[in-house]
Amino acid sequence: MSAKCVMVLGTTSGAGKSWLTTALCRYYARQGLKVAPFKAQNMSNNARVVAGRPQFSAGPPLGKLAPSEGSEVREATSVEAMFAGPPLGKLTPSGGSEVREATSVEAMSGGEIGSAQYFQALAARAVPDVRMNPLLLKPEKDTHSQVVLMGQVNAELSRMAWRGRSASVWPVVAQALDELRAENDVVVIEGAGSPAEINLKSCDIVNMRVALHANAACLLVTDIDRGGAFAHLYGTWAMLDEAERGLIKGFVLNKFRGDASLLAPGPQMLQDLTGVPTVATLPMWWQHGLPEEDGVFDMAPTFVASRAFGGTLPLARGEGAELARGGPSRRSTPLVVAIVAYPRISNLDEFQPLKNVPGVRLKWVRSPSELTGLAEADWIILPGSKNTSADLDWLRAQGLDQAIAAHAGRGGAVLGICGGLQMLGEALIDPHGIDGNGPGLGLLPLVTLFAEAKTVQHRQAAFAPVRGLWSSLSGIEVQGYEIHHGQTTHHSAMAAAGNIAYAVMPEGLAWQNAAGNVLGLYLHGLFEDPRVLQALFGATTPTLDSVFEGLADYIAQHFQPDVLQSLIAAR
């Protein structure tokens, strides 16, 4: 098997490459093709835990998942079932070596990839693995990133100068792509930034070097809402080498608002200049339901409660007794969730389900005025951080530490996730120079000690009895993932004095204060679990599978007939 490769390039960052790649993955998968996504290098602090390079042959993408050589199979009824369903059964490594038992997705955990490629894999009905994003750069400072190669942190590459990395990593990138091509019918490849960044061309490992290696049929997408779309398309095309231009099969105008007939004669003039047709004009679609990758999303809910869920609305701080029972209640105002957007925020994509819960309003805050101005704010969430100590310093510089403390002192709900949990404690101790020392916010009597080894794994755990505002989570078993260096435990002196945090998950995964309004946990993905949404809000949200189907329907409707099929035709 040698896959046909389709590649999505963009004139700029934010042009729409990620979501279009996701849509193409589902579009081709719906035709019964075996599909995999690929992005050679992603720069993002939004990452997911996935399988390492598989040692066994994968079965069909959905339906019966049949490992090689006829071993035990199970039925998969949805994309989510591949990760949250029954045991994976007996998996036979390719080559007929010893059969091993895989009892959960945790057994296949191998490392980190960018969240975008994780969702693209699910859209493709494929099991995500590290080859789909062999190089992940996680920015820690403006001039430094942690380098993750094939799912694992690589300290040597992290210390290496940007331009010096390409020679070291290209063989790994090329091998990962070639393996995916050998195992699939179609590989949908996402570029990064713009392929016309001529200052980086000599060390390119993510755009045209990949396109030429894979002989990919390329789409070049631009954000027409920014203005200058035709110039962006022509200028990008013009700065490519002749062989690279030959791979560009179509231009895509994304985020168009207005009467498409007014674009004429622009597309034809552009084709006369380049020989490349404009194959799609995609109308602006504000809320397609796919989690954002590179920036915070707006705070408006996607679904109106009265239409989607019979008018059931979530609960506010003033209705704590109802919230503790997890029962829904009607209210005239939305529940406001304020998420602190510090500079090194990570894994923000896990909050997309909150955006889709009826009656919940998300607000991203960066200053005390934004936070204290929300007199009706019910929750404050401290999300993950790629540099916890630096983001804590930023919080204090903004005065947000005092605003958060005041909110908690009034009995308001505060939730810290991963780095946010670490911030809630008394101190950060860093003997290895991983993150930095510093005092915490002092809302939980805990101490975090940073370790050289990074915890990267899937986890499944149940909440113990939980107090106060979060009590509706009691007993719920949730699935999620951990990505962190620090290990958190009691502050020994405070514990000796009787001031303790209550462990509400095993192995230090979650902690709560005595009053019951402050909760911190290491587990990412809490709001992606429908049981949690039902307990906290009495509501459910659309499944990821329905989002992927909507994306595929959208491009099928707006691309010119037969274009998408022509991209995978024999060349």
218 classed as catalytic: no
Pairing of strands 427-429, 438-439: antiparallel
Looking at residue 295, its pLDDT comes to 54
* Same domain for 446 and 479: yes
Could you tell me if residue 309 is inside a domain?
yes
* Same domain for 158 and 264: yes
CATH number for the domain spanning 346: value is 3.40.50.880
Could you tell me if residue 181 is inside a domain?
yes
The Cα 266–Cα 253 span in angstroms is 11
* Same domain for 245 and 155: yes
Could you tell me if residue 353 is inside a domain?
yes
Q: Cβ neighbours of residue 67 under 8 Å, at least 6 residues apart?
A: 56, 57, 58, 59, 73, 89, 90, 91, 92
Going residue by residue through the chain (571 aa), what tens digit of pLDDT does each one get?
Answer: 689 999 999 999 989 999 999 999 999 999 999 999 999 999 988 889 987 765 433 333 333 333 333 333 333 333 333 333 322 223 333 333 332 333 333 333 479 999 999 999 999 999 999 999 999 998 877 777 889 999 998 888 888 887 788 888 999 999 999 999 999 999 999 999 999 999 988 899 999 999 999 999 999 999 999 999 999 999 999 999 999 999 999 999 999 998 888 999 999 999 999 999 999 999 998 777 787 665 554 434 333 332 222 233 233 333 333 333 333 334 567 889 999 999 988 888 899 889 888 889 888 899 888 876 666 679 999 999 989 999 999 999 999 999 999 999 999 999 999 999 999 999 999 998 888 899 999 999 999 999 888 888 989 999 999 999 999 999 999 999 999 988 999 998 888 888 889 999 999 999 999 999 999 999 999 999 999 999 999 888 888 899 999 999 999 999 999 999 999 997 6
Could you tell me if residue 249 is inside a domain?
yes
- Which residues are 502's β-sheet partners? 512
- Distance of CA 544 to CAs 85, 123, 291, 440, Å? 15, 8, 10, 36
Distance of CA 196 to the CA centre of its chain: 26
* Same domain for 337 and 209: no
* Same domain for 199 and 132: yes
Closest CA relative to residue 290, chosen from 76, 548, 107, 534: 548
Question: In which element (H, E) is residue 428 found?
Answer: strand 427-429
* Same domain for 162 and 20: yes
**How many Cα neighbours within 13 Å face the side chain of 218?**
30
Q: Are 191 and 7 in contact (CB under 8 A)?
A: yes
CATH number for the domain spanning 42: value is 3.40.50.300
| Sheet of 377-382, strand order | 360-365, 335-340, 377-382, 413-417, 518-521, 510-512, 502-503
Catalytic one among 213, 484, 491, 524? 524
Question: In which element (H, E) is residue 321 found?
Answer: helix 320-325
Could you tell me if residue 57 is inside a domain?
no
Q: Which residues of 375-393 are buried (b: 16+ CB within 10 A; e: fewer)?
A: eebbbbbbbbbbbbbbbbe
As given in the structure block, the two tokens for residue 79 are 């994309």
Could you tell me if residue 92 is inside a domain?
no
The Cα 44–Cα 151 span in angstroms is 14
- Distance of CA 70 to CAs 59, 60, 73, 95, 112, Å? 10, 12, 8, 13, 30
DSSP 292: P
Q: Cβ neighbours of residue 543 under 8 Å, at least 6 residues apart?
A: 78, 80
* Same domain for 336 and 428: yes
End-to-end, the C-alpha distance of the chain in Å comes to 16
Looking at residue 492, its pLDDT comes to 86
The Cα 426–Cα 392 span in angstroms is 12
Q: Are 330 and 313 in contact (CB under 8 A)?
A: yes
Q: Are 342 and 367 in contact (CB under 8 A)?
A: no
The Cα 84–Cα 479 span in angstroms is 8
Looking at residue 273, its pLDDT comes to 97
Could you tell me if residue 504 is inside a domain?
yes
The Cα 119–Cα 32 span in angstroms is 19
Residue whose tokens read 């370790």: 451
458 classed as catalytic: no
Looking at residue 54, its pLDDT comes to 59
Residue whose tokens read 């602006």: 284
Residue whose tokens read 């947000």: 400
- The pTM for the full model equals 0.76
Q: Cβ neighbours of residue 40 under 8 Å, at least 6 residues apart?
A: 133, 134, 135, 173, 177, 189, 192, 205, 206, 210
Q: Cβ neighbours of residue 200 under 8 Å, at least 6 residues apart?
A: none
The Cα 406–Cα 378 span in angstroms is 13
Residue 39 sits in which domain range? Answer: 4-52+111-288+550-566
* Same domain for 536 and 554: no
* Same domain for 278 and 233: yes
* Same domain for 523 and 456: yes
Could you tell me if residue 66 is inside a domain?
no
Residue whose tokens read 């995500």: 128
Number of domains in the chain: 2
* Same domain for 175 and 132: yes
Q: Are 362 and 393 in contact (CB under 8 A)?
A: no
Catalytic one among 5, 232, 418, 458? 418
Q: What angle do CA 567, 570, 571 make, to 5 degrees?
A: 85
* Same domain for 117 and 46: yes
Q: Which residues of 148-158 are buried (b: 16+ CB within 10 A; e: fewer)?
A: bbbbebbeebb
Question: In which element (H, E) is residue 257 found?
Answer: none
Looking at residue 64, its pLDDT comes to 33
| Sheet of 438-439, strand order | 438-439, 427-429, 446-462, 477-490
